[in-house]
Homo-oligomer: A and B are copies of this chain.
Amino acid sequence: MSELILKNIAKHIAITAPQQELFLSLLEPKKIKKRQYFLQEGEVCKNSAFVISGCLRSYFADSNGFEHILQFAMEDWWMADMMSYTTQKPGNLFIDALEDTEVLLLSRDNQLKLFDQCPSFERYFRVITENGLVSHQRRVLENLSLPAMERYKIFAKRYPAFIQRLPQTQIASYLGITPEFLSKIRHQMMYQKP
């Protein structure tokens, strides 16, 4: 069960067997049922979650009650409210499960401990964070420069698994449009593609 996370780490850094054990000893497994919250607005995000199976989403609920999805996390992805996790102050995101989900938790305390005891992990999370920054920068620019249909096409190409597993409502919320308009876009695509 911890093979997945070790494999993920091996993609970026090489660590010894005792370091692996140290790392695994700092993790805590958890199961989150579909529709169950992992984190709610106003709480401190004590843990970062590595998804073993299932799917999480993080979102912001605006003053009109509309939900805006920041991120999905399926197998092999990390999920947290980064603002709250790094500062350990109350956050304003919700995180919940779109499917029954298994995760491994790493508390911020344990993460910082890990950085001191094994600096390779500081490198691992630096690289992970660099990649996250790049993908959010790309998302900002795509939202500024592309109309909704283009953004949907790119999303579908980049994350084909998401298109199959997620309801369109969720995808629309991630793209920043209404489900009604996404439906219209998909209709248009069917009759203009070939």
Contacts and interface: CB of A to CB of B under 8 A. Distances in A.
A176 B60 CA distance: 20
Contacts of A125: 126
Interface residues of A, number: 31
Contacts of A66: 145
Interface in A107-166: 115, 119, 122-123, 125-126, 129-134, 136-141, 143-146
Given A122-B123, A129-B130, A129-B133, A144 B176 contact: yes
B138 A83 contact: yes
A32 B77 CA distance: 40
A68 interface: yes
A137 B115 CA distance: 24
A183 interface: no
Given A129-B133, A136-B140, 7 more contacts: A60-B141, A60-B144, A68-B141, A82-B133, A122-B126, A133-B136, A140-B140
